[in-house]
Chains A and B, each alone.
Chain A
Amino acid sequence: MTTPMRNKTSRRAVLAGISALAVAPLPALALSEGEARALVDKLVAEINRVIDRGGSLNGMIAAFEKIFARYADVPIIAQSTLGPDARRASPAQMRAFIEAFRGYISRKYGKRFQEFVGGRIEVNGVRQVKTWQEVIGTVYLRGEKPFEVKFLISDRSGQDLLFDMVIEGISMRLSEKTEIGAMLDRNRGNIDALIADLRTAG
């Protein structure tokens, strides 16, 4: 026989369960908040390590490229920046584009890493948005008001990977989509010429 106390507790648990079901706005994801947070914690630890170590520009770019290749879903980010034009790219062109895109992003953002020296990133929270997890952090830089960074994590590639980073509302993926679109226009829609451009850009 249960005591009144336990009875009350279990009733509360059942009620909580029902109300949780009733208010759950989104379908359950395979990727849990905990897993997304663990990935970003690892990613942030690596970034903080690179910032602490400092070093040469080329060293920072190489370090960034390694982190980017390991933690980000580079093929998906690259494909989405190309937009509908990805449809007319051959598989070989797509492979070359993704490869060139990875180098371009690493040079472009890797050389900015030095601005973060002496700073740090802290992870504050995580929440589910549509089909992905959004991990929210704060960037502390010397002499600056702290600002927000969001890491968007999805497991739809089969692995838990980063597919966007949003700093004070500015999405890296959307900004690069504008950039890649403009580069393609400049090359009159020629994908091979875009790839050649991308190999030296950044």
Chain B
Amino acid sequence: MKVSFKSFILRGVLVGAVLGLAACAPRPTETGINDPWEAANRRTHAFNKSLDRAVLRPLGRGLARDGSDPLMATVGNVAGNLATPGLVVNNLLQADGKGAVTNTARFLLNSTLGFAGLFDVATMAGIYEADTDFGETLHVWGASEGAYVELPVFGPSTERDALGRVVDMFTNPLSHVLDKPEKYVAPVASVTSKLADRGKYAQTVDSVLYDSADSYAQSRSTYLQNRRYELGGDVASDPYGDPYGADPYDDPYAAGDPYDDPYAQ
């Protein structure tokens, strides 16, 4: 078969471009548990639990006894809207054009038709938030998850996502634009709505923190499973989700154990 020089060069360029893209593609999401700081993490967990029991849980239940409190929904809308420009920054850093457009549209709609973010009209119209954070940006750039860490007050995280949290304190352009009294609206609304969420999802949080036999292990498992899912971890390519494969998470003691595969003979 004859191949023209031009098409040969073209092909080379194409292959090069694809390889280049693959080189900066996000690494596959991790599996299993990497928790070298477990002893320290467990101490932080005990502190977080006592803080929750004494302060966060009672405050949260006071703010949102049931899930349909209109005032707390409004506070949540304001907090969410003011946080949106920070999401757009991360969307752009990840070269996620679709997410950036979606979040920008949400911000414009909710800031105008939604009366400065009091109402989430975008969600009512079916335009859902493309949630993200700097931890995800680091993941997209190829950073590994690092060890599991439980942060004081903030709770379960990983080394990568803890760093992301710190950076996200500076990624929201609004916080650089707004002046003194206005710039406190975002953090106050955000903290209030987080507390209200503690009340709103009380049954779920309580079942992990107070009803499980080992709340530390249960929080860690729940966080890692959900976080990896958010970052695009796919059960199909992920031994973590495979009840039949030799999965270190599934079976910490032996690879290829028959009990690992629920249906193996």
Q: Which residues 231-261 in B have Cβ within 8 Å of A in the complex?
A: 233, 235-236, 240-245, 249-251, 253-254, 257, 259-260
Q: Which of B214, B262, B263 contacts A178 (CB 8 A)?
A: B214
Interface size class of B (residues with CB under 8 A): 35 or more
- Contacts A142-B68, A182-B214 given: A84-B235 contact, CB under 8 Å? no
Q: Which of B212, B227, B228, B262 contacts A182 (CB 8 A)?
A: B212
* Cβ A170 vs Cβ B244 within 8 A: no
B204, B241, B242 interface centre (most CB from chain A within 10 Å): B241
Chain A positions within 8 Å of B229 at CB level = 168-170
Q: Which residues 195-250 in B have Cβ within 8 Å of A in the complex?
A: 203-204, 207, 212-214, 217-218, 221-222, 225-230, 233, 235-236, 240-245, 249-250
Chain A residue nearest to B243 (CB atoms) is: A80
Chain B interface: which of A15-23, A49-57, A95-103, A128-136? A128-136
Judge whether A44 is part of the interface by a CB distance below 8 angstroms.
no
A186 CA / B69 CA spacing, docked (Å): 39
What is the 8 Å Cβ interface bit string for chain A, positions 152-191, against chain B (1 contact, 0 not)? 0010110000011010111101110111011101100000
Judge whether A87 is part of the interface by a CB distance below 8 angstroms.
yes
A115 CA / B204 CA spacing, docked (Å): 10
* Cβ A182 vs Cβ B241 within 8 A: no
Chain A positions within 8 Å of B235 at CB level = 129, 134, 150, 166
- Contacts A131-B244, A178-B214, A178-B221 given: A84-B253 contact, CB under 8 Å? yes
- Contacts A77-B262, A129-B236 given: A174-B249 contact, CB under 8 Å? yes
- Contacts A145-B123, A169-B230 given: A175-B222 contact, CB under 8 Å? yes
Judge whether B67 is part of the interface by a CB distance below 8 angstroms.
yes
* Cβ A80 vs Cβ B259 within 8 A: yes
Judge whether B93 is part of the interface by a CB distance below 8 angstroms.
no
Chain A positions within 8 Å of B236 at CB level = 127, 129-130, 134
Judge whether A196 is part of the interface by a CB distance below 8 angstroms.
no
A142 CA / B216 CA spacing, docked (Å): 30
A121 CA / B68 CA spacing, docked (Å): 20
* Cβ A163 vs Cβ B243 within 8 A: yes
Judge whether A143 is part of the interface by a CB distance below 8 angstroms.
yes
* Cβ A179 vs Cβ B218 within 8 A: yes
Least distance between B243 CB and chain A CB atoms (Å): 6
- Contacts A163-B243, A166-B235 given: A154-B213 contact, CB under 8 Å? no
Chain B positions within 8 Å of A73 at CB level = 262
Q: Which of B222, B225, B259 contacts A79 (CB 8 A)?
A: B259
* Cβ A84 vs Cβ B228 within 8 A: no
Judge whether A13 is part of the interface by a CB distance below 8 angstroms.
no
Judge whether B145 is part of the interface by a CB distance below 8 angstroms.
no
- Contacts A80-B262, A150-B235, A175-B218 given: A183-B213 contact, CB under 8 Å? yes
- Contacts A84-B257, A84-B259 given: A174-B221 contact, CB under 8 Å? yes
Q: Which of A83, A166, A173 contacts B259 (CB 8 A)?
A: A83
Least distance between B39 CB and chain A CB atoms (Å): 16
Residues of chain A touching chain B, judged by Cβ–Cβ distance below 8 Å, are 73, 76-77, 79-80, 82-84, 86-87, 108, 112, 115, 127, 129-131, 134, 142-143, 145-146, 150, 154, 156-157, 163-164, 166, 168-171, 173-175, 177-179, 181-183, 185-186
Q: A130-B242, A130-B244, A173-B243 are in contact. List 4 more A-B contacts (CB 8 A).
A: A84-B259, A170-B226, A170-B229, A179-B214
Q: Could you show 19 A-B contacts with beta carbons less than 8 Å apart?
A: A80-B243, A80-B260, A83-B257, A84-B253, A84-B259, A108-B207, A112-B203, A143-B73, A145-B129, A157-B263, A166-B235, A169-B226, A169-B233, A170-B222, A170-B226, A179-B213, A181-B214, A182-B218, A185-B213
